[in-house]
Structure 1
């Protein structure tokens, strides 16, 4: 006998999220590393570099000890499948 289950989640609607999903990993070699992610809607005309700088500043504002960290990974992709 087999059974089937359907799982639903209460994820926010895409409209309640940003237009892009981002992931940023920072590392202080030999001391600490961190990865954060979220959604972001850049203003019109924003470059990828501008978005990176904005998101890095956002992360380091909450974690000032990581201000001098090395960026190990950064991804910024449209937030749609």
Structure 2
């Protein structure tokens, strides 16, 4: 019997981003991503925030409560 791994490949970095609209809502999203060559931590933050806001436009004025970007390895 052959075992196949059906888990999709993960990105080179793991990220967590928490946004809050004070008194209204807080959301935490996370995932993995391989940034393009030459990308900075700020580039990744802006891209991820824009991605979340594109899916949830009501968060366009949300405060960033937490952001983490770490290499996805132990």
TM-score of the superposed pair, with normalisation by structure 1: 0.81
* Partner residue in 1 for 2:14: 21
Coordinate RMSD, CA, aligned: 1.4
Residue 50 of structure 1 aligns to a residue in which SS? helix
TM-score of the superposed pair, with normalisation by structure 2: 0.88
- Matched residues, number: 70
User: Which string of whole-angstrom CA distances, capped at 9 and with x for unpartnered residues, describes residues 24-79 of structure 1?
Assistant: 00000011110000111000100000000000011111111001100000000001
Gap regions ≥5 residues in structure 1: 1-9
Gap regions ≥5 residues in structure 2: none
Residue 45 of structure 1 aligns to a residue in which SS? coil
Residue 28 of structure 2 aligns to a residue in which SS? strand
Q: 1:30 aligns with which of 23, 26, 32?
A: 23
